[in-house]
Amino acid sequence: MSALWAAALAGCQPNGKSGAAQGDLLQANLDTTVRPGDDFFTYANGAWLKKHPIPASESSWGIGKEVQNEIYARLRAINEEAAKANAAAGTNQQKIGDFWATGMDSVKADKQGISPLKPELDRIAAMRTSQDVQDEIARLKPLGVNALIGPFVAQDAKNSDKMALQLWQTGLGLPNRDYYFNKDTRTANIRKEYGKHVAKMFQLMGQDSVTAKASSARVVKLETTLAGSSRKLEALRDPYANYNKMAVNDLDKLTPGLDWKTWLGKMNLAKADTVIVGQPEFYKTAGQLLKTAAIDDWKAYLQWQLVNAYASNLSRAIDNEHFHFYGTILQGRKEQRARWKRVLDDEEGAMGEMLGQLFVKEYFKPETKERYEKLVTNVVSSFRDHIQKLDWMSDSTKQKALVKLSKITPKVGYPDKWKDFSNLKIDRSSYAANMMRASQWSYNYNINKLGKPVDRTEWEMTPQTYNAYYNPSNNEIVLPAAIFAIPGLKDEDADDAIVYGYAGASTIGHELTHGFDDEGSQFDEKGNLRNWWTKQDRKLFQQRVNGIVRQFNGYQVLDSLHINGKATAGENIADLGGIVIALDAFKKTDEYKKGEKIGGLTPEQRYFLGYALGWQNHQRDEVLAQRVLTDVHSPANLRVNGPFADVPEFYQAFNIKQGERLWRADSSRVKIW
């Protein structure tokens, strides 16, 4: 899917503590051998990065992982207690305990081997016709196997009060289409290793080496055909180009010979009469393949997709081979992460809100929630001021922008209403069985939205998630509790400069700006895909967007790899917007007005360092290369150095001079909001 679309502070006066007992947090992170004007990211975080090498089990390490480690410890305690509790059947505690018990029982998983998937593998092996293939795909989709087609229910982009059936490109085993075609040595080697990996997985399913190699070739050939009709990363960011609404009956015209009404009915989507197709050319190719590809090709493809989806829940041999390719080859990790952490990751995906209810009760106090709700109010107020003062936007568009801003709903910490997991069955039969039932529950939860009113109270992230998002269809920013955490620093000990940079800029201001970036700006205050700009204003806005695209296109990482400025434009716009908006909000605080130094740093310096703290991260070359091809976010260092080079106050705060690497002439600095 598209990319998902994520007054001064009363009671939070600066107290100068900021880790005062052990010395100042920001000061301790500095690498003063690096000039701020040459590489501010390393200047701000270098000492920390030197002391925190990437563990062998990880592809990257940074502040988000440190926060996650604290969360893991808390969730592990919750799970271990639940597993021992002998709780009543059907209770949340019973489900949490049984999920944990099966996940941690690697001996049982080894004994069971591939058997939890055997009924589905047997059905795939028994396929004889194209209709059989469609029937099996209909069975696998609710189990979380994204083979060939990607139906889901979500808000209609042009009518946000309606839930609509949508179809999106899917079905590839490699991260995206470029991995099947790029000719550079790194990607070519990944393709070669992928073929080997798929063959090994078929051997672990019981095939001899010759048959496994042939099966792998069938899979790669079929996936390569699908990849050829898949859109590139940057093309998926155009909401109009990826909105093709049609009657379900017209799907049959797109893919002659397929009876979509019957097919969707087998996936419990019979009530759908219209569908929004993201990439029609992909589905045209999918339809052709169903008629022309050999049955043995489909058998190999579906067997592979099924086992790949559940590899980490099966025997250690299968799990380890899955890790070898997706962990080591793709991401450069040297060893598996601890099993208990991987079980918690699966549990998060399966029933994260169930854990979230227990998590926030203990770890996100009301006074913390109040602080960040007030911070949101202050940053929104600053954004309002920025819009009103724009010299490139007409008054008519400004008024509409202000209306949209006023209608943005902030969700802070955790939901007011929790998901109901009473229909989810979890027991101690097998790890894979629990994951399959969780996938079925999630699928049913999603498709049951079809034809029902939009629930705008719903969250798409759990409170314990170190992330946030903007949803254009709901015109909302969603800020989970965990995103505000700073490892080793209590919230009450964090001064406003840190909080405004770390949370106000990189999270709150960032997500608000997404409502007005190159993609979000095409949705109105009600969340509908609709043009509310004058033609001239849109042209002037696009000129500024083109400036940030050119800026980031110029950044080179890893050999010949450059940042994709167009694909990352929305995130780069949001980074820059968040920084300048939250900075002006910070200027209204007592800490800024007093101008007193903490840890030898001025309030403005602490603000920029607080923002850089949020991107304190380093990663292996392998995962960096993957993210350049697949991620709409720039690497962490460029999320600091890139936007800071456009901010005049940054130059003043750290005395940046011409000749230093980050220095940009006034005429080339990007200014949007």
Distance (Å, rounded) from C-alpha 192 to C-alpha 217?
11
Distance (Å, rounded) from C-alpha 389 to C-alpha 207?
68
Boundaries of every domain in the chain: 20-60+365-417+458-668, 119-313
Which CATH entry fits the domain spanning 119-313: 3.40.50.11540, 3.40.50.300, 1.10.150.120, 1.10.1380.10?
Answer: 1.10.1380.10
Label residue 23 by pLDDT band (50, 70, 90).
low
Q: What H or E segment, with its residue span, contains residue 474? A: none
pLDDT of the residue at 364:
86
On the 0-12 / 13-18 / 19+ scale of CB atoms within 10 A, 310 is buried
pLDDT of the residue at 20:
34
For the cut 50, the answer to whether the pLDDT of residue 8 exceeds it is no
- Of 602, 605, 601, 607, whose CA–CA distance to 583 is shortest? 607
Q: What is the DSSP string of 66-86?
A: HHHHHHHHHHHHHHHHHHHS-
Could you tell me which CATH class the domain 20-60+365-417+458-668 is placed in? alpha beta
Condensed to tens digits (0 to 9), the pLDDT of residues 401-426 reads 999 999 999 999 999 999 999 999 99
Q: What percentage of the chain reaches a pLDDT higher than 70?
A: 97
For the cut 70, the answer to whether the pLDDT of residue 31 exceeds it is yes
pLDDT of the residue at 17:
35
For the cut 60, the answer to whether the pLDDT of residue 19 exceeds it is no
Q: What percentage of the chain reaches a pLDDT higher than 90?
A: 93
Condensed to tens digits (0 to 9), the pLDDT of residues 238-292 reads 999 999 999 999 999 999 988 999 999 999 999 999 999 999 999 999 999 999 9
What are residue 469's DSSP bridge partners?
478
Query: What is the four-CA torsion angle of 551, 242, 444, 122, rounded to 10 degrees?
Result: -100
On the 0-12 / 13-18 / 19+ scale of CB atoms within 10 A, 130 is middle
User: Span 648-668, mean pLDDT?
Assistant: 97
Query: What amino acid occupies position 333?
Result: R
| 521-527-531 Cα angle (round to 5) | 45
For the cut 80, the answer to whether the pLDDT of residue 611 exceeds it is yes
For the cut 70, the answer to whether the pLDDT of residue 53 exceeds it is yes
- By the 8 A CB rule, do 549 and 482 touch? no
- By the 8 A CB rule, do 608 and 644 touch? yes
- By the 8 A CB rule, do 157 and 163 touch? no
- By the 8 A CB rule, do 165 and 277 touch? no
For the cut 60, the answer to whether the pLDDT of residue 6 exceeds it is no
- By the 8 A CB rule, do 519 and 612 touch? no
Condensed to tens digits (0 to 9), the pLDDT of residues 94-149 reads 999 999 999 999 999 999 999 999 999 999 999 999 999 999 999 999 999 999 99
* Residue whose pair of structure tokens reads 């095939």 in the numeric block: 207
Distance (Å, rounded) from C-alpha 231 to C-alpha 139?
26
Joined together, the tokens standing for residue 116 give 């939890």
Condensed to tens digits (0 to 9), the pLDDT of residues 181-214 reads 999 999 999 999 999 999 999 999 999 999 999 9
Measured in Å, how far apart are the chain's first and last C-alpha atoms?
A: 28
Q: What is the DSSP string of 280-327?
A: HHHHHHHHHHHHHS-HHHHHHHHHHHHHHHHGGGS-HHHHHHHHIIII
Q: What is the DSSP string of 396-450?
A: HHHHHHHHHHHHPEEEEES-SS----TT----SS-HHHHHHHHHHHHHHHHHTTT
pLDDT of the residue at 149:
96
pLDDT of the residue at 488:
85
Query: What is the four-CA torsion angle of 579, 580, 586, 587, rounded to 10 degrees?
Result: 150
- By the 8 A CB rule, do 229 and 285 touch? yes
- By the 8 A CB rule, do 367 and 11 touch? yes
- By the 8 A CB rule, do 498 and 613 touch? yes
pTM of the predicted model as reported, rounded to 2 decimal places? 0.92
345: Cβ contacts below 8 Å, ≥ 6 apart: none
Count CB-CB contacts under 10 A for residue 268. Answer: 15
For the cut 60, the answer to whether the pLDDT of residue 1 exceeds it is no
Condensed to tens digits (0 to 9), the pLDDT of residues 287-345 reads 999 999 999 999 999 999 999 999 999 999 999 999 999 999 999 999 999 999 999 99
